[in-house]
Amino acid sequence: MTAVSIDSAPKTAARRRERWASGRTYISAALIFIWCLIPFYWMIVTAFRDVGYTFDSTPFFTHVTWDNFNTVFSESLGNHFGRNLLNSLFVAGVTTLVALLFGVFAAYALSRLEFRFKFLVLGFVLGASMFPGVALVTPLFQLFTNIGWYGTYQALIIPNISFVLPLTVYTLTSFFREMPWELEESARIDGCTQGQAFRKVIMPLAAPAVFTTAILAFIASWNEFLIASQLSNDQTKTVTVAIAYFAGAQAHQEPYTAVMAAGTVVTIPLVILVLIFQRKIVAGLTAGAVK
């Protein structure tokens, strides 16, 4: 009896310390959780709140209405949000496709082949991705005005490629570096032709990497504001620009609830995408940073 109690005394102390440590972890985790999600939650609550209760501080859904979403899409108020959405979708979609098309080959070479100036190329790509957008906007503004491209889709897609393509090359290179390429050789030895090996072994292996990179590229392009705000007109305006300069029902009055509704429309698809592919996106974001 006595022996047991002497033995268990430090054990309970250790257990208590452990429980305290895990309790602290949960408290910290809860704090991070709240800090990250509360503003987002507040946007959704406001998006569904009657405009007369804009500044109501009740922390849950009250005075719920769809009116704000109607305002967002109301052509009579001069909001062409549907069109803005399509513009963003088109610009981000084409940018992503072009960046992938060019990026996949470059990334394959950078990750798989030995050649001179490899680090120079990687350095150029990395430097390009850190390039300030304003340094492009000024000359492009004049150039596009001169050749009549101001307010066209290519005027938005071309500058977007300048930061999406480096991102694509960089992320894909890190992904490709980790892929088990020996399998291609094994498939060849087992009697596959080069084409078969590519289709049946490499493609399924590379598809998740390419897909993840596509998501990152799309989000980067979708969220772009500076270039779009300077080089788009009413016809090609993207959602981020539309939200920044939203027109409400009353002039000179910030249409908070409608803007929050617009923000919700733009953000919800991204958040769903991010939650589904959480693991892959984290891998893509951090690829290359630790090596």
Task: List binders of another protein among 124-163 (CB under 8 A).
Answer: 124-128, 130-143, 158-159, 161-162
Nearer to another protein, 14 or 190 (CB): 14
Q: CA 209 to CA 173: how far, in whole Å? A: 10
| Region 206-245 residues binding another protein, contact defined as CB under 8 A | 219, 222-223, 225-226, 229-230, 239-241, 243-244
Among 1, 113, 189, 251, binds another protein (CB under 8 A): 113
* Spatial contact of 288 and 169, defined as CB atoms under 8 Å apart: no
| Region 35-94 residues binding another protein, contact defined as CB under 8 A | 35-37, 39-40, 42-43, 46, 54-55, 57
Q: CA 38 to CA 43: how far, in whole Å? A: 9
Minimum distance of another protein from residue 187's CB (angstroms): 20
Nearer to another protein, 191 or 279 (CB): 279
**Which residues does 85 contact at the CB level (< 8 Å), separation at least 6?**
239, 265, 266
Nearer to another protein, 19 or 190 (CB): 19
| Residue type at 48 in one-letter notation | F
Taking residue 221's Cβ as centre, other Cβ atoms within 10 Å add up to: 26
Nearer to another protein, 124 or 190 (CB): 124
Among 2, 10, 116, 252, binds another protein (CB under 8 A): 116
Minimum distance of another protein from residue 50's CB (angstroms): 15
Please name which of 121, 103, 106 lies closest in space to residue 217, comparing C-alpha atoms.
Answer: 103
**Which residues does 122 contact at the CB level (< 8 Å), separation at least 6?**
110, 170, 173
Nearer to another protein, 3 or 130 (CB): 130
**Which residues does 178 contact at the CB level (< 8 Å), separation at least 6?**
none
Minimum distance of another protein from residue 57's CB (angstroms): 5
Minimum distance of another protein from residue 201's CB (angstroms): 19
What are 23's two structure tokens? 């309790």
What are 76's two structure tokens? 């009579």
Nearer to another protein, 134 or 190 (CB): 134
Residue 229 burial class via C-beta count within 10 angstroms: exposed 0-12, middle 13-18, buried 19 and up:
middle
| Region 163-182 residues binding another protein, contact defined as CB under 8 A | 165-166, 169
**Integer angstrom CA distances of residue 218 from 93, 112, 166:** 7, 25, 13
Nearer to another protein, 190 or 278 (CB): 278
Minimum distance of another protein from residue 146's CB (angstroms): 10
Among 33, 61, 66, 211, binds another protein (CB under 8 A): 33
**Integer angstrom CA distances of residue 163 from 169, 266, 278:** 10, 21, 23
Among 51, 106, 156, 167, binds another protein (CB under 8 A): 106
Binding track, positions 250-279, relative to another protein; x by CB under 8 A? ----x-x--xx--x--xx--xx-xxx--xx
* Spatial contact of 91 and 157, defined as CB atoms under 8 Å apart: yes
Minimum distance of another protein from residue 149's CB (angstroms): 13
